[in-house]
Structure 1
Amino acid sequence: MAKCSGRCTLVAFCCLQLVAALQRQIFDFLGYQWAPILANFLHIMAVILGIFGTVQYRSRYLILYAAWLVLWVGWNAFVICFYLEVGQLSQDRDFIMTFNTSLHRSWWMENGPGCLVTPVLNSRLALEDHHVISVTGCLLDYPYIEALSSALQIFLALFGFVFACYVSKVFLEEEDSFDFIGGFDSYGYQAPQKTSHLQLQPLWTSGVGRGGAG
């Protein structure tokens, strides 16, 4: 029962991670955030690997999934620091998120709750084929939305890491106990030995009865 509950809980957290990652991937695509898009894609693959390892009792897949979650937590912590401009990080360096391929930023910058977007016409700051906009009235600014999204990812990743370690430990213990009683362990199996045939040897009796007739 403990093993089943652990597996079911891990699958549930993996499904939540998958839904959250797909939702985040959509909005990152809309904002042309290429670095987060790549990270989200790797995360989706790792979560699918974790689900497969849980269902198929593959402890190695769960170990890989748990190792990726450590990197995923680090990446989301960096995203939070980037949008909140912690330390030397600044949103002016948007090439970090877009690989310097576009001037787009977070999709929530213009489409946040309550945001009013007003184009600024004839602005000298506008580059060729671009325009300057003014965003006002947002109930929650886009840096905080991105930070909350990353915080949710960290929360799910931490729980997923704990349950992945627990379930993989259960799987490894079961594999060890199965090998101990002679499961798939090659050393626990011995071929049946062939019975040796008894060789009949002639028995020589004493010479008393040989010449009795004479």
Structure 2
Amino acid sequence: MGCCSGRCVLIFLCTLQLLASLERQVFDFLGYQWAPILANFLHIITVILGLFGTIQHRPRYIVLYTVWTMVWVMWNIFIICFYLDLGGLSKDSDLLTFNLPGHPSWWSEHGLGCVRKEVRVTDEQSLESHAYISVSGCLLEHHYIEVLHSAVQIFLSLLGFLLACYVVCILTEREDSALETGVRQRGPTKPPLRQ
């Protein structure tokens, strides 16, 4: 099997997908985005299984990865709709944080070129002082960064789906031909003689 075979390309793609998912997981952890954290965790596990299946020639693991890539594409389409306020969704809701207020995307305050200003608000009735944070001057707004992350994930997943289908076909053809070759070498089996 050559270096540019479908299997090697799928190994490279799974590794790239794993790195992109780990990067996304870090920033979701920083923003306390709990729903994406759980989804990313499942995705990382499934990509590792797909990588293992590809390396070890196990089509069942690759099929699991293939099915998951379609679920992952749907999840990322939901994230895109969420951050672009499509389909009745709103990026200002606390849906991704399981209704825990005050935890927006990490990119909303720490985006590229953003200038962050904190103003302390003291309330005599409150035991804690909260800060109002204003962000200005961002080169790219946070919801576009999240949409870009999801678009990259969709692209990698669709490419992974196609490659995984190809690798599963190749592996099953090899297994079938190996079984046929084994049957031919042994010859036809004769039923036992009755006495």
Task: Calculate the TM-score normalised by the size of structure 2.
Answer: 0.88
Following superposition, the deviation at residue 98 of structure 1 comes to 0.6
CA distance in 1 between partners of 2:122 and 2:70 (Å): 45
Q: Structure 1 188/13 Cα, relative in aligned 2: closer, same or farther at 3 Å? A: farther
Cα shift at 1:122: 3.4
The CA deviation at 1:178 is 1.2
Aligned to 1:21, the other structure's residue is in SS state: helix
Partner Cα distance (1:85, 1:48) in 2: 32
Partner SS for 1:120? strand
Distance, in Å, in 1 between the alignment partners of 2:134 and 2:119 is 7
Deviation, structure 1 residue 3: 9.1
Query: Residues 58-88 of structure 1: CA distance to partner in whole angstroms, max 9, x if unpaired?
Result: 1111110000000000001110110111131
Task: Give the C-alpha shift of residue 97 in structure 1.
Answer: 0.6
Paired with 1:155 and 1:38, the residues of 2 have a C-alpha distance of 21
List structure 1 runs of 4+ shifted beyond 4 angstroms. 1-4, 187-191
Tell me what 1:115 maps to: 114
Map 1:73-84 to 2 at 5 A. 73-84=73-84
Cα separation, 2, equivalents of 1:93 and 1:175 = 51
Amino acid at match of 2:99: N
Answering whether residue 56 of structure 2 is matched by residue 56 of structure 1, we say yes
The amino acid across from 1:20 in the alignment is: A
Tell me the equivalent position of 1:150.
150
Q: For 1:173-207, what per-residue CA distance to the aligned partner results, in whole angstroms no more than 9, with x for missing partners? A: 11111111226xxx97859x89xxxxxxxxxxxxx
Compare 20-29 and 97-106 and name the one that shifted more: 97-106
Q: Which has the larger radius of gyration?
A: 1
SS at match of 1:182: helix
How far did residue 100 of structure 1 move? 1.8
Identity of aligned residues (%): 56
1:199 maps to what in 2? none
What count of residue pairs does the alignment treat as equivalent? 188
> 1:27 corresponds to which residue?
27
Aligned to 1:173: 173
RMSD of equivalent CA atoms: 2.5
Mapping 1:98-109, distance limit 5 Å:
98-109=97-108
* Alpha-carbon contact 1:182-1:189 (below 8 Å) kept: no
Using the size of structure 1 for normalisation, the TM-score is 0.80
* Residue pair 1:118, 1:135 contacting (<8 A) in 2 also: yes
Moved more, 84-93 or 46-55: 84-93
SS of the equivalent of 1:169 reads: helix
Q: Does 1:12 align with 2:12?
A: yes
Q: Distance in 1 between matches of 2:31 and 2:136?
A: 19
Residue identity in the other structure for 1:110: E
Structure 2: any 5+ residue segments left out of the alignment? none
In structure 1, list runs of 5 or more residues that go unmatched: 195-214
